[in-house]
């Protein structure tokens, strides 16, 4: 298989590129490096079948040669990124999705959209099944990401219905692991960075809000299962084991051995109170379920950060690029 992975130098994208190459596929990675990092895929440049191209998917582009799968991961995904790049986030979900769908259609290729649990907003139904329509504030501070993904899903389904495009939609819940940026605003990377630096761990509200944390290797297995399938979904991909944010903070302190304290801050606007996926559809139709326990995944993540201490102070600014045009 030859796969085009848009956003392939990002946290999830780089792991997906690795997984596809490991099983013998060839990969063309597209990225504008606005939130992805060149070093995430630098080690792949000598791998046969891999190429990385600097590309803005919101502009018109072409890919020469055969294409069997197109995976759309090209969007700012962390709170830090989509709040500093609101227009780019909306463009990635709209024009970017349309351009990548057109690419898949031209090549009769499978198209997989990486959507998000954010389409459920602050859910009024718990846990969340794929037939729940969500509870989203369309004008709130999180709306640029939430609504970009909701539009991307609608556009993908329109191509499915009107053009008979081979479309799959996955809704990704909180994912963590190596290659997260320490200062990207995600809760796992923030807690790990703060604990290793001896800073207070900052929790919003009383820390009682819940999330479901899925290790990146598990998530990538779900993505590859969606690529190999011809089912549309949408599919929830996440860990159905619900944890409070405070439980996560205490586990990070235990694993790191940090003496940091917990500091509680006011709850942000529209912060979801509870988030937990029902994964029955992914189990039955994709044969997927997460395998890595949270404590084991966090240990691997902490070990990665400790092995690369420069990542703890790196600012999340645009990476320098030296790739083919």
Band (pLDDT 50/70/90 cuts) for residue 311 is low
| pTM for the structure as a whole | 0.93
Cα–Cα distance, 148 to 280 (Å, whole number)? 26
Query: Locate tokens 């001896």: which residue?
Result: 198
Query: Locate tokens 């940090």: which residue?
Result: 258
- What CATH number does the domain containing 255 carry? 3.40.50.720
Helices vs. strands in the chain: H and E counts, helices first: 10, 13
269 vs 41, more confident: 41
- Tokens for 178? 């190596």
Does residue 325 have a pLDDT over 50? no
Does 234 sit behind a cis peptide bond, omega within 30 degrees of 0 on the bond before it?
yes
* pLDDT at residue 183, as a whole number: 87
Cα–Cα distance, 203 to 259 (Å, whole number)? 16
State which residues form the domain around 88: 2-312
Band (pLDDT 50/70/90 cuts) for residue 320 is very low
Element (H, E) at 262: strand 262-265
Q: Is residue 66 part of a domain?
A: yes
Average pLDDT over residues 231-252: 97
Q: Is residue 252 part of a domain?
A: yes
Average pLDDT over residues 217-239: 98
Does residue 321 have a pLDDT over 60? no
Q: Is residue 322 part of a domain?
A: no
Q: Using one digit for the tens of pLDDT, what is the confidence trace for 149-191?
A: 999 999 999 999 999 999 999 999 999 999 999 988 899 999 9
Cα–Cα distance, 50 to 268 (Å, whole number)? 41
Question: Is 276:212 a contact under the CB 8 Å cutoff?
Answer: yes
Band (pLDDT 50/70/90 cuts) for residue 312 is low
Which is it for strands 210-212 and 242-244: parallel, antiparallel or unpaired?
Answer: antiparallel
Q: Is residue 260 part of a domain?
A: yes
Identified catalytic residue from 145, 159, 176, 215: 145
Does residue 309 have a pLDDT over 80? no
Q: Using one digit for the tens of pLDDT, what is the confidence trace for 265-304?
A: 998 887 888 999 999 999 999 999 999 999 999 999 999 9
Q: Using one digit for the tens of pLDDT, what is the confidence trace for 54-98?
A: 999 999 899 999 999 999 999 998 888 998 999 999 999 999 999
Does residue 318 have a pLDDT over 50? no
Average pLDDT over residues 11-30: 98
Residues 6+ positions from 215 with CB-CB distance below 8 Å:
175, 176, 177, 239, 290, 292, 294, 296, 297, 300
Q: Is residue 318 part of a domain?
A: no
Does residue 314 have a pLDDT over 70? no
Number of domains in the chain: 1
Average pLDDT over residues 248-274: 93
Question: Is 206:263 a contact under the CB 8 Å cutoff?
Answer: no
Question: How buried is 87 (Cβ within 10 angstroms: 0-12 exposed, 13-18 middle, 19+ buried)?
Answer: exposed
- Tokens for 144? 């640029």
* pLDDT at residue 324, as a whole number: 28
* CB environment 247-277: b (16+ within 10 A), e (fewer): ebbebbbebbebebeeeeeeeeebebebbbb
* pLDDT at residue 323, as a whole number: 30
Q: Is residue 71 part of a domain?
A: yes
* pLDDT at residue 80, as a whole number: 86
Cα–Cα distance, 166 to 104 (Å, whole number)? 8
User: Is 132 a known active-site residue?
Assistant: no
Q: Is residue 324 part of a domain?
A: no
């Amino acid at each position: 298989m030859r796969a085009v992975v848009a956003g392939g130098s990002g946290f999830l994208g780089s792991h997906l590129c690795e997984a596809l190459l490991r099983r013998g596929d060839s990969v063309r990675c597209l990225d504008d490096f606005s939130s992805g990092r060149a070093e995430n895929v630098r080690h792949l440049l000598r791998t046969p079948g891999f190429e990385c191209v600097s590309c803005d998917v919101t502009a018109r582009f072409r890919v020469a040669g055969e294409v069997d799968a197109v995976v759309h991961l090209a969007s700012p995904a962390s709170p830090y990124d989509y709040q500093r790049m609101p227009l780019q986030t909306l463009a990635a979900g709209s024009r970017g999705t349309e351009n990548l769908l057109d690419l898949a259609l031209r090549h009769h290729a499978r198209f997989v959209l990486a959507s998000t649990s954010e389409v459920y907003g602050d859910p009024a139904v718990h846990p969340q099944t794929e037939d729940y329509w969500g509870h989203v504030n369309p004008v709130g501070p999180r709306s640029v990401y939430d609504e970009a993904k909701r539009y991307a899903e609608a556009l993908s389904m329109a191509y499915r219905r009107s053009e008979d495009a081979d479309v799959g939609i996955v809704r990704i819940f909180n994912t963590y692991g190596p290659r997260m940026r320490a200062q990207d605003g995600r809760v796992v990377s923030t807690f790990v960075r703060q604990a290793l630096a001896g800073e207070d761990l900052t929790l919003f509200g009383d820390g009682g809000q819940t999330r479901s944390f899925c290790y990146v290797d598990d998530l990538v297995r779900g993505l590859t299962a969606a690529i190999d399938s011809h089912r549309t979904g949408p599919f929830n991909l996440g860990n159905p084991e619900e944890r409070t944010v405070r439980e996560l903070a205490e586990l990070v302190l235990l694993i790191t051995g940090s003496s940091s304290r917990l500091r509680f801050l006011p709850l942000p606007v529209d912060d979801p109170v509870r988030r937990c996926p029902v994964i029955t559809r992914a189990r039955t139709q994709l044969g997927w379920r997460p395998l890595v326990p949270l404590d084991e995944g966090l240990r691997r993540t902490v070990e990665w950060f400790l092995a690369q201490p420069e990542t703890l102070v790196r600012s999340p600014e645009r990476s320098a690029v030296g790739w083919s045009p």
